Copies of this chain bind each other. A is one copy, B any other.
Amino acid sequence: MPDARSTPVTAAILVIGDEILSGRTKDKNIGYIAEYLTSSGIDLREVRVVPDVAEEIVAAVNALRARYTYLFTTGGIGPTHDDITADCVAQALGVGIDVDPRARAMLLERIKEADLNEARLRMARIPFGAELIENAVSKAPGFMIENVIVMAGVPAIMQSMLDAVAPRLRTGARVTAETIEAGNLPEGGYASDLALVAKAHPGVSIGSYPSMTPAGFRNQIVVRGRDGEAVAAARAAVEALVARLHAARG
């Protein structure tokens, strides 16, 4: 087995849907998947959102699947005419697509055979060679083909699919993230010293994140890395810096 530390497992998300780009629907999947992957030891490296346009979807699938260990897509696998994700993934991978008997059987768990019209059968169109991903919410499955994982856009369904597919994925060493509260210390007051800490601890990444509160800006400093000892050492250095600056302010 390869050393998990030396072979990071990476991922991208491709969100498919006009409704996200028009602002009609506010995406809730990116943040959820990001957190899920991070806690699984998979590095999310890029996200793209594209419209329901075949050439855009195909191009993005090919760009992202080539670059990362896994590509997760959300959206566009329902029964309506604008649900074109499965066909686009088949096209991107150069494989055929048709109604899959296993997927059809899954639909029949929820839909009467008499109601299984052409539109509903679209949800059983699966690219050749794909493994199905169970949908505990509404049965119509997602699928995984090569390194591309195709999921629904409705958050509850997407979450159920992510749970179903996660055990099949390769994962890496988990990232440890430690948050140090800088409180009302201004970023501009500690930025130079923090840059020195970051330089002295090259094995970790250190970020500073302001947020606005009714009482003004509050800052948090986050130390992230896969080597627990390195993270602990950097954390101690940041804590010492924050304590020193608080003391200096009296």
CB pair B48 A47 closer than 8 Å: yes
Q: How many whole Å from A101's CB to the nearest CB in chain B?
A: 18
- B-chain residues with CB within 8 Å of residue A212 when the two chains form the complex: 137, 154, 156
Q: Judge whether A31 and B23 touch: CB under 8 Å.
A: yes
Q: Is A239 an interface residue (CB 8 A)?
A: no
B45 touches A47 (CB 8 A): no
Is A44 positioned at the interface, with any CB of B under 8 Å from its CB? Answer: yes
Taking the nearest CB of chain B, how far is it from the CB of A231, in angstroms?
Answer: 13
Q: Nearest residue in B to A208 (C-beta to C-beta)? A: B80
Contacts of A52 in B (CB 8 A): 205, 207
Whether B24 lies near A44 (C-beta < 8 A) is no
Q: Which residue of B lies closest to A21 (CB)?
A: B44
Within the assembled complex, what's the spacing in Å between the Cα atoms of A188 and B108?
A: 13
The reply to whether A119 and B34 contact each other, CB–CB distance below 8 Å, is: no
Q: Does A18 contact B (CB under 8 A)?
A: yes
A44 touches B22 (CB 8 A): yes
User: Is A210 interfacial (CB 8 A cutoff)?
Assistant: yes
Residues of B within 8 A of A210 (CB): 78, 154
A119 to B188, alpha carbons, bound, how many Å? Answer: 6
User: Does A227 touch B at the CB level, under 8 Å?
Assistant: no
A176 to chain B, nearest CB (A): 11
9 A-B pairs closest in CB distance: A23-B35, A119-B191, A23-B34, A120-B188, A47-B49, A81-B195, A26-B31, A80-B208, A79-B191
Residues on A lying within 8 angstroms of B by beta carbon are 15, 18-27, 30-38, 43-52, 56, 78-82, 111, 115, 117-120, 122-123, 137-138, 154, 156, 175, 177, 187-189, 191-192, 194-195, 198, 205-212, 217, 222, 224
